[in-house]
Structure 1
Amino acid sequence: ILGVIAGAVLTAVLQSSSASVGILQALTSTGAVTYSAAVPIIMGQNIGTTVTALISSAGANKNAKRTAFVHLYFNLIGTIIFLCGFYGLNALIGFSFFADTANTFGIAIVHTVFNVVTTAILLPFNRVLEKLAILTVPDSPADQKQENTLLDDRLLTTPSVAVGRAMLTGSDMAEICRTALLQAMSTTRVWNDAIADEVLRKEDAVDHYEDVLGTYLVKLSAKHLSVDDNRTVNTLLHTIGDFERVSDHAVNLIKTAEEIRDKSIKFSDEALGDLSVLEAAVQDIVNRTVDAFQKGDTYAAKKIEPLEQVVDGLVREVKSRHIARLQAGACTIEYGFVLDDLLTNYERIADHCSNIAVAMIEVAADKFDTHEYLNTVKHGDDVKFERRYEKYRGRYTFPPEAYSEPAENPAEN
């Protein structure tokens, strides 16, 4: 025990296990250090080296503190297991080298064996280490929101690293928006209380992301940035608001789903078929937008606007087909109100996806005139745009209805 304490204190003061091991190796040249004394000192050195991480975590977020404690518990538990096994085996079989004078090579071997054995033993119990760290640094409602970000003001001194973390945070925010939206769309068919609550929690998280990330980006923009980093910051500044609005529309879908549940509104098979086509297109455009954003893929972003035009055309067609069914007595006015809410949200979600894609394209080109870009691709005889539009339009088509009016050709609008 005294050997462990001595090794831990010395290493904690030096904040370097390599230095303390070097000192121990130097002492072996005097012939006064035996393996029976060296082994517990080496164990203590592994515990003492965790002090550096613990000091570094001071003032950092909870995950940083928990990481430092995982390091501490790893070495602490490993020391207890290793010493129990070492002295237990020595009592049973008696190690021939136990009372021998240690040498530098032997010290290195013991240090290596300890780390390899401890890793092998504790690797299957990584969740236990995680739980111990969480118990040591528990969550609290007051600061729980602060833990969902990778951002740290101390990183601002290294702008390139800070920009990378900001992009990771933006990607996390986009992923939360995508998941929330897909979950919300599922509740319009089958209501689920747990999913609805999860969507609301995700919307709160996205709001927090937008606030924290926006503030961080403003600070970053004041730093000296490379051309690529400056483009990344500008892209994030122009897109996080649209992602936040997508999460808002996810909440709107939850409210509409609640109305469907409370009023026991039943969709006709034809209406469900129409919505399925539209929802597939909306899911497609959201998935494409998030993937393009996370990868920084401007080529993929150019495929968003043609799909957005298809979604607009599908919305108009769904309305026309509903009116035809209403006139034929196959649908109710009450369903029409709910349908209008769904269509409004789906159309606006596609609009925000378009905004995100255009922002990526324009920032990459070192300009930002969204109206000029949209006018060019829509009315400038862009062959690629037309080809992509026709491809997506052919992919999302409605089944024919006997009583429906001929659908207006979206390509003429």
Structure 2
Amino acid sequence: MLDPFKMAYTVLGGLGIFILGMKYLSDSLQMLSGGLIRKAISSLTSNRILAVIVGLSITAFVQSSSITTVMVVGLTNAGLMQLGQAIGVILGANIGTTITGWILAVKVGKYGLLLVALGIFPMLFSKNERISAIAKVLVALGLIFFGLEIMSDAFKPLRSHDGFMNLMLILDAQSLLSLLGCVAIGCALTMVVQSSSAMLGITIALASTGAIPIHTAIALVMGENIGTTITAQLAAIGSTVTARRAALAHSTFNVLGVFIILAIFSPFVGLVEMITPGAADFVNAEGSRPYAAAHIALAHSMFNVTATLVMLPFLKQLENLVTRIIPETGGGEKGPFKYIGAPGSMPVAMGASMVLQELTRMHGRVHKALRHVGSLLHRDLKGRDRFYQKVKEIEQQTDVMQHEITTFTVTLMQAGKASKEQSDTAYGYVRAADELESIADYTASICSYMKRLEKHELDFSDDAWKDLIRFHHEVLAFFNHVSEALKEEGVTDTASIRQEASRLNDLADEIRNAHLARTRAGACGALPGLTFSDMAVALRRIKNHTVNLHEALCFETTPDA
């Protein structure tokens, strides 16, 4: 006898255990991946095949296409990824998410609690982070299989319920109208649940108990492929034009793919049944359909792999299409950094990768400000006001970027379960952002000192200008040397950094002594002398903060040089 209330709380409870298992699996796999996600992102090139492989790999690691696509929207929004790259990664993510279906198709549901038992104690009590993460994978798989088993048992009474079976006669996916109805239901429910994996689990549970036929299950999966794109669409709200185009490309690709499959739906299902071992409608002694899950998993994989292969040669056309649909609204600038989605829903390693990308972009801005200052130190420079304005804009931008990096990183660390290594890395990123912002502040200070000279129509001697230009050149070279750690050209040697910093201190003392000698000789007035001293001190402070930047990137805690 069907008890709606009991069925409802059992299904919801099983779904909750299932979703918890998926979250544990995602967290543990991304922790085990270490820096792989960051390296995969940084390896992106304009090569569309490589972009697809990166998207597939990342999604297979974190077991969530939503996380990958939200990350892609965030990177394109920050100007760190081109639209063509983003589309390639999204296509790969669609393939990567099909791994979930095969995990669910493995018939070990009865052993779910055994996996939990094997993994729970090492997960909770092991001090080795890697062993704890591996144990968490076992617990996660156990929860996934156990949750699926609970849902399957809860759905069994539906097989003999007249009302539900009459509904299934309407939504049997045998006619175009019922087929579209199934797709719409799968799409709508996925939008509500915000997880295609959860809906796939429900679909497999219904099909495995015989509550719905295989045609209906595959049609629901097609709808779930469309529904999962809502996450990227929500993430793109208020983002840059490129980010919104990336989200639209995701939706467009999935909708086009689904409608192509709908046009050949019966032959497509027939091909799936022919390839998959065992008949989808085979009923065992327990009244279940043991081969239904494999049929659904294969249909899901075939759809996404085939659609990706077909679309791959036409990525440029897809890019042009979304560009026409969402035209430029004025100014194609990259804009300030905006992290997309709640950090709590994002794996720590992936969030840290986005922070590193933004930190690299912030470094590029600061480097540009330093070069502008070098131009201003030449007396014959034309258009000084333009350079002043550029440095001022960069200083204001770095203020915003430093705030955003700090806020996002702290929230990410608080919301997610980070390892000690990840926490140290995140702290280093926050400190590095603070040092870069301080360097930008001193570049703006040098500009204000230059304006002081112009306002009072003052000048330095030729030797004084040469000393400043020389010191700036050495400080900029030092900044570039330290920055190699950000460019992944290898961590710079701390001993050599300290040796170089000491040499720059000696150079600063030499320049100061030469300045004092000129002042005593009457070659430099009081106000120009004060301004020269202020500018030299600002350059020395930039050197100090560059030393601090090295310590932040190498996760050291020694005091300022």
The TM-score with structure 1 as length reference comes to: 0.60
The one-letter code matched in structure 2 to 1:58 is: L
1:250 correspondence with 2:250? no
Amino acid across the alignment from 1:279 = H
CA displacement, residues 308-335 of structure 1 (integer Å, 9 cap, x when unaligned):
2222222222222223334445444443
Alpha-carbon distance between aligned partners in 2 of 1:113 and 1:166, rounded to the nearest angstrom: 34
The structure 1 residue matched to 2:232, chosen from 56, 76, 79, is: 56
Match of 1:355 in 2: 548
Partner in structure 1 of residue 364 of structure 2: 175
**Separation in structure 2 between the aligned mates of residue 162 and residue 114 of structure 1, nearest angstrom:** 29
Match of 2:428 in 1: 235
Moved more, 349-358 or 188-197: 188-197
Match of 2:338 among 136, 145, 149: 149
Question: Do the aligned partners of 2:233 and 2:248 also contact (CA within 8 Å) in 1?
Answer: no
1:311 alignment partner, one of 504, 512, 518: 504
Instruction: Say if 1:74 and 1:129, in contact at 8 Å, map to a contact too.
Output: no
How big is each residue's C-alpha offset from its partner over 1:168-217, in whole Å with a ceiling of 9 and x where there is no partner?
A: 22222222222222223322333533332222222222112222222223
Quick check: 1:173–1:209 contact (8 Å CA) kept in 2? yes
User: Which range moved further: 259-268 or 172-181?
Assistant: 259-268
Q: Corresponding residue for 1:165?
A: 354
Cα separation, 1, equivalents of 2:510 and 2:385: 32
Indicate how the Cα distance of structure 1 residues 213 and 203 shifts in structure 2: closer, same or farther if over 3 A, else same.
Answer: same
Shift of 1:118: 7.8
Shift of 1:253: 1.6
Q: Is the 8 A contact 1:12 1:51 kept in 2?
A: yes
CA contact (8 A) 2:402 2:434 kept: yes
Which one of the candidate residues 366, 370, 374 is aligned to 1:185? 374
Please give the alpha-carbon distance, in whole angstroms, between the structure 1 residues aligned to 2:320 and 2:493: 39
Q: In structure 2, do the counterparts of structure 1 residues 330 and 154 end up closer, same or farther at CA, with 3 Å as the change threshold?
A: closer
Q: Distance in 2 between matches of 1:295 and 1:123?
A: 31
Shift of 1:60: 4.4
For 1:237 and 1:252, locate their aligned partners in 2 and report how far apart those are by CA, in whole Å: 23
> Which of 320, 345, 349 does residue 513 from structure 2 map onto?
320
Question: Which residue number corresponds to residue 529 of structure 2?
Answer: 336
Deviations 1:143-184 (A, max 9, x none): x97x52346424554222222222222222222222222223
Whole-angstrom distance in 1 between the partners of 2:321 and 2:463: 53
CA distance in 1, matches of 2:324, 2:369: 27
What letter is aligned with 2:403? D
Specify whether residues 274 and 188 from structure 1 end up closer, same or farther in structure 2 by C-alpha distance, changes over 3 A only.
closer
Q: Please say if residues 235 and 341 of structure 2, whose CA atoms lie closer than 8 Å, have aligned partners that are also in contact.
A: no
CA distance in 1, matches of 2:350, 2:305: 33
Please, which of 380, 400, 417 is the counterpart of residue 208 of structure 1?
400
Equivalences, count: 330
Which residue of 1 is the match for residue 64 of structure 2? none
Secondary structure of 1:370 counterpart: coil
2:559 aligns to what? Answer: 370
- Which one-letter code corresponds to 2:338 in the other structure? T
SS in 2 for 1:224: coil
Are the aligned partners of 1:167 and 1:236 in contact in 2 as well (CA < 8 Å)?
A: yes
Amino acid at match of 1:180: A
Q: For 1:352 and 1:157, locate their aligned partners in 2 and report how far apart those are by CA, in whole Å.
A: 31
Give the match for residue 245 of structure 2. 66
Residues 293 and 116 (structure 1), Cα distance of their counterparts in 2 relative to 1, 3 Å cut: closer
Structure 1 runs not aligned, ≥5 long? 20-25, 28-45, 78-101, 106-110, 375-413
Q: Of the candidates 361, 374, 387, which is equivalent to residue 195 of structure 1?
A: 387
Structure 1 CA distance, aligned partners of 2:449 and 2:533? 10
Measured in 1, the distance between the counterparts of 2:371 and 2:425 equals: 27
User: Aligned pair in 2 of structure 1 residues 251, 226: CA closer, same or farther (>3 Å)?
Assistant: same
Cα 1:59/1:123, change in 2 over 3 Å = closer
Instruction: Provide the TM-score with structure 2 as the length reference.
Output: 0.46
CA pair 249-130 structure 1, distance change in 2 beyond 3 A:
farther
Alpha-carbon distance in 2 for matches of 1:177, 1:55: 34
Structure 1 residues 369, 345: closer, same or farther in 2, change over 3 A? closer
CA contact (8 A) 1:177 1:243 kept: yes
Deviations 1:259-308 (A, max 9, x none): 23334444433223222221111101211222224539543444322222
Residue 90 (structure 1) aligns with: none
Which digits, 9 at most, give the CA deviation of each residue in 1:12-43, with x for residues without a partner?
67989xx9xxxxxx99xxxxxxxxxxxxxxxx
What corresponds to 1:273 in structure 2? Answer: 466
Distance of aligned partners of 1:128 and 1:200 in 2 relative to their CA distance in 1, 3 Å threshold: farther
Corresponding residue of 1:96:
none
Please list the CA deviations of residues 329-353 of structure 1 after superposition, one character each: whole Å capped at 9, or x if unmatched: 5444443232112101101111111
